[in-house]
Structure 1
Protein backbone atom coordinates (compact mmCIF):
# COMPACT_ATOMS: atom_id res chain seq x y z
CA UNK A 1 0.00 0.00 0.00
CA UNK A 2 1.39 3.34 -0.98
CA UNK A 3 0.75 6.28 1.27
CA UNK A 4 0.60 9.85 0.06
CA UNK A 5 0.77 12.73 2.45
CA UNK A 6 -0.49 16.26 1.79
CA UNK A 7 -0.43 19.32 3.98
CA UNK A 8 -2.51 22.44 3.91
CA UNK A 9 -2.51 25.67 5.92
CA UNK A 10 -5.49 26.65 8.04
CA UNK A 11 -7.03 30.13 7.92
CA UNK A 12 -5.18 32.97 9.56
CA UNK A 13 -6.97 33.88 12.77
CA UNK A 14 -6.09 37.21 14.37
CA UNK A 15 -2.99 37.51 12.17
CA UNK A 16 -1.62 34.11 13.23
CA UNK A 17 -1.27 31.28 10.75
CA UNK A 18 -1.55 27.74 12.06
CA UNK A 19 -0.55 24.61 10.18
CA UNK A 20 -3.01 21.82 9.95
CA UNK A 21 -1.79 18.44 8.74
CA UNK A 22 -4.14 16.31 6.68
CA UNK A 23 -3.38 12.83 5.38
CA UNK A 24 -4.85 10.97 2.49
CA UNK A 25 -4.33 7.30 1.67
CA UNK A 26 -4.81 5.41 -1.55
CA UNK A 27 -4.68 1.67 -2.19
CA UNK A 28 -4.65 2.15 -5.95
CA UNK A 29 -0.91 1.91 -6.89
CA UNK A 30 -1.07 3.87 -10.13
CA UNK A 31 -3.55 6.46 -9.06
CA UNK A 32 -2.60 10.08 -8.70
CA UNK A 33 -3.26 11.40 -5.22
CA UNK A 34 -6.24 13.64 -4.97
CA UNK A 35 -6.83 16.37 -2.48
CA UNK A 36 -10.18 17.28 -1.14
CA UNK A 37 -10.71 20.50 0.74
CA UNK A 38 -13.33 20.07 3.41
CA UNK A 39 -14.75 23.09 5.15
CA UNK A 40 -12.46 24.12 7.97
CA UNK A 41 -14.03 23.87 11.40
CA UNK A 42 -11.96 26.95 12.31
CA UNK A 43 -13.52 29.15 9.64
CA UNK A 44 -15.36 31.98 11.38
CA UNK A 45 -18.83 32.89 10.27
CA UNK A 46 -18.21 36.53 9.47
CA UNK A 47 -19.92 39.09 7.35
CA UNK A 48 -18.09 41.98 5.75
CA UNK A 49 -18.34 45.26 7.62
CA UNK A 50 -20.43 47.88 5.91
CA UNK A 51 -18.82 51.12 4.70
CA UNK A 52 -20.74 52.95 7.45
CA UNK A 53 -19.37 50.61 10.15
CA UNK A 54 -15.81 51.05 8.87
CA UNK A 55 -16.25 54.84 8.79
CA UNK A 56 -17.59 54.81 12.38
CA UNK A 57 -14.58 52.83 13.60
CA UNK A 58 -12.02 54.97 11.81
CA UNK A 59 -13.62 58.28 12.78
CA UNK A 60 -13.89 57.22 16.42
CA UNK A 61 -10.23 56.15 16.39
CA UNK A 62 -9.27 59.57 14.98
CA UNK A 63 -11.34 61.30 17.67
CA UNK A 64 -9.70 59.37 20.51
CA UNK A 65 -6.30 59.82 18.85
CA UNK A 66 -6.83 63.59 18.68
CA UNK A 67 -7.42 63.79 22.44
CA UNK A 68 -4.47 61.52 23.18
CA UNK A 69 -2.17 63.57 20.93
CA UNK A 70 -3.39 66.79 22.53
CA UNK A 71 -2.88 65.46 26.08
CA UNK A 72 0.67 64.43 25.23
CA UNK A 73 1.49 67.82 23.69
CA UNK A 74 -0.13 69.62 26.65
CA UNK A 75 2.44 68.21 29.08
CA UNK A 76 4.87 70.77 27.64
CA UNK A 77 2.34 73.07 25.92
CA UNK A 78 3.92 72.14 22.57
CA UNK A 79 1.61 73.86 20.09
CA UNK A 80 3.91 72.73 17.24
CA UNK A 81 3.95 69.00 18.05
CA UNK A 82 4.01 67.00 14.80
CA UNK A 83 1.64 64.48 16.40
CA UNK A 84 -1.21 66.99 16.36
CA UNK A 85 -1.68 66.64 12.58
CA UNK A 86 -2.10 62.85 12.76
CA UNK A 87 -5.75 62.99 13.80
CA UNK A 88 -6.83 66.63 13.51
CA UNK A 89 -7.00 69.15 10.68
CA UNK A 90 -8.74 72.38 9.69
CA UNK A 91 -10.55 74.18 12.54
CA UNK A 92 -9.93 71.35 15.03
CA UNK A 93 -6.15 71.59 14.56
CA UNK A 94 -6.32 75.38 14.78
CA UNK A 95 -8.24 75.26 18.08
CA UNK A 96 -5.77 72.78 19.57
CA UNK A 97 -2.70 74.73 18.42
CA UNK A 98 -4.10 78.08 19.62
CA UNK A 99 -4.99 76.61 23.02
CA UNK A 100 -1.57 75.06 23.48
CA UNK A 101 0.14 78.26 22.34
CA UNK A 102 -1.90 80.27 24.87
CA UNK A 103 -0.84 77.85 27.63
CA UNK A 104 2.80 78.16 26.54
CA UNK A 105 2.57 81.96 26.44
CA UNK A 106 0.94 82.04 29.90
CA UNK A 107 3.47 79.63 31.43
CA UNK A 108 1.09 76.69 31.86
CA UNK A 109 1.39 72.97 31.32
CA UNK A 110 -1.09 70.14 31.81
CA UNK A 111 -0.92 66.84 33.67
CA UNK A 112 -3.21 63.87 33.24
CA UNK A 113 -5.53 62.93 30.40
CA UNK A 114 -9.14 63.57 29.51
CA UNK A 115 -11.57 60.68 29.65
CA UNK A 116 -13.68 60.20 26.54
CA UNK A 117 -16.54 57.87 25.64
CA UNK A 118 -17.56 58.90 22.12
CA UNK A 119 -20.58 57.63 20.23
CA UNK A 120 -21.38 58.14 16.58
CA UNK A 121 -24.41 60.35 16.02
CA UNK A 122 -24.55 60.12 12.22
CA UNK A 123 -22.72 58.90 9.12
CA UNK A 124 -23.20 60.63 5.76
CA UNK A 125 -23.77 59.32 3.15
CA UNK A 126 -24.48 55.79 4.35
CA UNK A 127 -23.22 53.93 1.26
CA UNK A 128 -19.88 55.78 0.89
CA UNK A 129 -19.32 57.86 4.05
CA UNK A 130 -17.28 61.05 3.98
CA UNK A 131 -18.57 62.66 7.21
CA UNK A 132 -19.10 61.23 10.68
CA UNK A 133 -20.60 63.25 13.52
CA UNK A 134 -19.50 62.24 17.00
CA UNK A 135 -20.91 63.13 20.42
CA UNK A 136 -19.10 62.68 23.70
CA UNK A 137 -19.45 63.39 27.37
CA UNK A 138 -15.78 64.08 28.05
CA UNK A 139 -14.42 64.36 31.57
CA UNK A 140 -11.50 66.72 32.17
CA UNK A 141 -11.47 66.49 35.98
CA UNK A 142 -8.17 64.51 35.85
CA UNK A 143 -6.61 66.76 33.19
CA UNK A 144 -5.32 69.72 35.19
CA UNK A 145 -3.37 72.84 34.18
CA UNK A 146 -0.42 73.91 36.34
CA UNK A 147 1.78 77.01 36.46
CA UNK A 148 5.30 76.29 35.21
CA UNK A 149 6.90 78.82 37.62
CA UNK A 150 5.73 77.21 40.88
CA UNK A 151 4.02 73.94 39.89
CA UNK A 152 0.74 74.98 41.53
CA UNK A 153 -2.66 74.38 39.91
CA UNK A 154 -3.55 77.22 37.55
CA UNK A 155 -7.12 77.58 38.85
CA UNK A 156 -9.48 76.29 41.51
CA UNK A 157 -11.91 74.76 39.03
CA UNK A 158 -12.07 70.97 39.42
CA UNK A 159 -13.24 70.37 35.83
CA UNK A 160 -15.89 67.78 35.08
CA UNK A 161 -18.09 66.26 32.44
CA UNK A 162 -18.74 68.31 29.31
CA UNK A 163 -20.81 67.70 26.20
CA UNK A 164 -18.62 67.59 23.07
CA UNK A 165 -19.68 67.57 19.41
CA UNK A 166 -17.07 66.66 16.80
CA UNK A 167 -16.99 66.21 13.04
CA UNK A 168 -14.70 63.75 11.26
CA UNK A 169 -14.08 63.87 7.53
CA UNK A 170 -12.53 61.34 5.19
CA UNK A 171 -9.37 62.76 3.63
CA UNK A 172 -8.29 62.27 0.01
CA UNK A 173 -5.79 59.61 1.13
CA UNK A 174 -8.58 57.63 2.82
CA UNK A 175 -7.63 58.54 6.38
CA UNK A 176 -10.12 60.06 8.81
CA UNK A 177 -9.41 63.28 10.71
CA UNK A 178 -11.35 65.47 13.08
CA UNK A 179 -12.08 68.75 11.31
CA UNK A 180 -13.94 70.56 14.09
CA UNK A 181 -15.19 70.15 17.64
CA UNK A 182 -17.13 72.17 20.19
CA UNK A 183 -16.87 71.75 23.95
CA UNK A 184 -19.68 72.86 26.27
CA UNK A 185 -19.47 73.98 29.90
CA UNK A 186 -18.92 71.64 32.85
CA UNK A 187 -22.14 69.89 33.82
CA UNK A 188 -23.67 69.79 30.32
CA UNK A 189 -23.79 66.00 30.32
Structure 2
Protein backbone atom coordinates (compact mmCIF):
# COMPACT_ATOMS: atom_id res chain seq x y z
CA UNK A 1 0.00 0.00 0.00
CA UNK A 2 2.81 2.41 0.83
CA UNK A 3 4.29 1.70 -2.61
CA UNK A 4 1.21 3.32 -4.20
CA UNK A 5 1.46 6.35 -1.92
CA UNK A 6 5.18 6.76 -2.56
CA UNK A 7 4.62 6.21 -6.29
CA UNK A 8 2.02 9.00 -6.34
CA UNK A 9 4.50 11.39 -4.73
CA UNK A 10 7.33 10.32 -7.06
CA UNK A 11 5.17 10.97 -10.14
CA UNK A 12 3.86 14.22 -8.68
CA UNK A 13 7.47 15.39 -8.28
CA UNK A 14 8.06 14.62 -11.97
CA UNK A 15 4.89 16.49 -12.97
CA UNK A 16 5.66 19.69 -11.05
CA UNK A 17 9.15 19.92 -12.54
CA UNK A 18 7.62 20.39 -16.03
CA UNK A 19 4.82 21.37 -14.86
CA UNK A 20 2.57 18.87 -16.68
CA UNK A 21 1.04 15.55 -15.67
CA UNK A 22 1.49 14.15 -19.19
CA UNK A 23 4.37 11.74 -19.49
CA UNK A 24 4.01 10.56 -15.89
CA UNK A 25 2.53 7.36 -14.50
CA UNK A 26 0.40 9.19 -11.94
CA UNK A 27 -2.72 7.18 -12.91
CA UNK A 28 -0.91 3.99 -11.85
CA UNK A 29 -0.90 5.27 -8.27
CA UNK A 30 -3.75 7.77 -7.86
CA UNK A 31 -7.40 7.85 -8.84
CA UNK A 32 -10.57 9.77 -8.09
CA UNK A 33 -10.23 12.80 -5.86
CA UNK A 34 -6.48 12.27 -5.31
CA UNK A 35 -5.82 12.30 -9.06
CA UNK A 36 -8.01 15.39 -9.48
CA UNK A 37 -6.04 17.14 -6.70
CA UNK A 38 -2.71 16.33 -8.34
CA UNK A 39 -3.93 17.54 -11.74
CA UNK A 40 -5.31 20.75 -10.22
CA UNK A 41 -2.04 21.46 -8.38
CA UNK A 42 0.00 20.89 -11.56
CA UNK A 43 -2.36 23.10 -13.60
CA UNK A 44 -2.14 25.86 -10.97
CA UNK A 45 1.66 25.76 -11.16
CA UNK A 46 1.63 25.82 -14.96
CA UNK A 47 -0.75 28.81 -15.01
CA UNK A 48 1.42 30.63 -12.44
CA UNK A 49 4.56 29.92 -14.46
CA UNK A 50 6.17 28.07 -11.57
CA UNK A 51 8.11 24.82 -11.28
CA UNK A 52 9.29 22.82 -8.31
CA UNK A 53 12.63 21.11 -7.89
CA UNK A 54 14.46 19.18 -5.24
CA UNK A 55 13.45 16.37 -2.97
CA UNK A 56 10.42 16.17 -0.70
CA UNK A 57 10.99 14.37 2.57
CA UNK A 58 8.34 11.91 3.75
CA UNK A 59 7.54 9.84 6.80
CA UNK A 60 4.45 7.86 5.70
CA UNK A 61 2.80 5.43 8.08
CA UNK A 62 -0.24 3.25 7.55
CA UNK A 63 -2.55 4.17 10.42
CA UNK A 64 -5.52 1.99 9.53
CA UNK A 65 -6.14 -1.06 7.36
CA UNK A 66 -9.46 -2.69 6.57
CA UNK A 67 -8.68 -5.78 4.48
CA UNK A 68 -12.28 -6.99 4.90
CA UNK A 69 -13.81 -3.93 3.25
CA UNK A 70 -14.96 -4.18 -0.34
CA UNK A 71 -12.59 -3.01 -1.72
CA UNK A 72 -9.91 -3.27 0.98
CA UNK A 73 -8.91 0.18 2.27
CA UNK A 74 -6.03 1.83 4.11
CA UNK A 75 -5.29 5.21 5.65
CA UNK A 76 -1.85 6.83 5.52
CA UNK A 77 -0.54 9.69 7.60
CA UNK A 78 2.60 11.45 6.44
CA UNK A 79 4.91 14.27 7.42
CA UNK A 80 6.05 16.15 4.31
CA UNK A 81 9.36 17.98 4.66
CA UNK A 82 10.00 20.92 2.31
CA UNK A 83 13.59 21.55 3.47
CA UNK A 84 15.12 20.33 0.17
CA UNK A 85 12.27 21.52 -2.08
CA UNK A 86 12.14 24.79 -4.00
CA UNK A 87 9.53 26.47 -6.16
CA UNK A 88 10.83 28.82 -8.85
CA UNK A 89 9.46 31.20 -11.47
CA UNK A 90 11.82 31.81 -14.40
CA UNK A 91 14.66 30.44 -12.28
CA UNK A 92 13.99 32.77 -9.34
CA UNK A 93 12.99 31.17 -6.01
CA UNK A 94 9.39 31.77 -4.94
CA UNK A 95 8.97 31.98 -1.17
CA UNK A 96 6.52 29.68 0.60
CA UNK A 97 3.21 31.25 1.59
CA UNK A 98 3.43 33.02 4.94
CA UNK A 99 2.65 30.63 7.75
CA UNK A 100 3.51 27.52 5.69
CA UNK A 101 5.56 25.24 7.94
CA UNK A 102 8.57 23.46 6.45
CA UNK A 103 7.13 20.17 7.77
CA UNK A 104 3.39 19.55 7.59
CA UNK A 105 0.91 16.68 7.84
CA UNK A 106 -0.90 14.95 5.01
CA UNK A 107 -3.45 12.15 5.04
CA UNK A 108 -4.48 9.79 2.28
CA UNK A 109 -7.01 7.03 1.73
CA UNK A 110 -6.22 4.13 -0.58
CA UNK A 111 -8.13 1.21 -2.05
CA UNK A 112 -6.94 -2.14 -3.32
CA UNK A 113 -8.53 -2.73 -6.71
CA UNK A 114 -9.47 -6.01 -8.37
CA UNK A 115 -6.08 -6.16 -10.11
CA UNK A 116 -4.47 -6.35 -6.64
CA UNK A 117 -2.84 -2.94 -6.90
CA UNK A 118 -3.40 -0.15 -4.43
CA UNK A 119 -4.39 3.33 -5.56
CA UNK A 120 -4.59 6.52 -3.54
CA UNK A 121 -8.14 7.84 -3.84
CA UNK A 122 -8.05 10.86 -1.54
CA UNK A 123 -5.13 13.01 -0.53
CA UNK A 124 -5.33 15.99 1.82
CA UNK A 125 -2.59 18.43 2.72
CA UNK A 126 -2.90 19.85 6.21
CA UNK A 127 -0.46 22.71 5.64
CA UNK A 128 -1.41 24.35 8.94
CA UNK A 129 -0.49 21.23 10.95
CA UNK A 130 3.19 20.95 11.71
CA UNK A 131 4.86 17.64 12.42
Q: Give the shorter-chain TM-score range.
A: 0.7 to 0.9
Runs of 4+ with deviation above 4 angstroms: 126-129, 156-159
SS at match of 1:133: strand
Aligned equivalent of 2:94: 154
Quote the residue 2:22 is aligned against: 80
Q: Determine the structure 1 residue equivalent to 2:123.
A: 181
Structure 2 unmatched ranges of 5 or more: none
Instruction: Provide structure 1 residue ranges, at least 5 long, that are not aligned to the other structure.
Output: 1-58
Task: Report if the CA contact (8 A) 2:101-2:130 is conserved.
Answer: no
In structure 1, which of residues 165, 175, 189 is the aligned counterpart of residue 107 of structure 2? 165
Quick check: 1:135–1:163 contact (8 Å CA) kept in 2?
yes
CA-atom RMSD, angstroms?
2.0
Contact 1:63/1:87, CA 8 A, preserved across alignment: yes
- Tell me the distance in 2 between the aligned counterparts of 1:82 and 1:153: 25
Which structure is higher in RCO with an 8 Å CA cutoff and minimum separation 6?
2
User: Normalized against structure 1, the TM-score is what?
Assistant: 0.62
Q: How many residues align?
A: 129
Instruction: Name the structure 1 match of 2:35.
Output: 93
Query: CA–CA distance in 2 between the matches of 1:106 and 1:97?
Result: 14
Q: Equivalents in 2 of 1:79, 1:106: separation in Å?
A: 15
Q: How much has 1:178 moved relative to structure 2?
A: 0.6
The question of whether the paired residues in 1 share the 8 Å contact of 2:56 and 2:85 is answered with: yes
Give the number of the structure whose alpha-carbon radius of gyration is greater. Answer: 1
Distance 2:24 2:5 in 1: 17
With the length of structure 2 as denominator, give the TM-score of the two structures: 0.88
- Please list, as runs of the form range in 1=range in 2, the aligned pairs for 1:40-189 lying within 5 A after superposition: 59-125=1-67, 130-148=72-90, 151-156=91-96, 160-185=102-127, 188-189=130-131
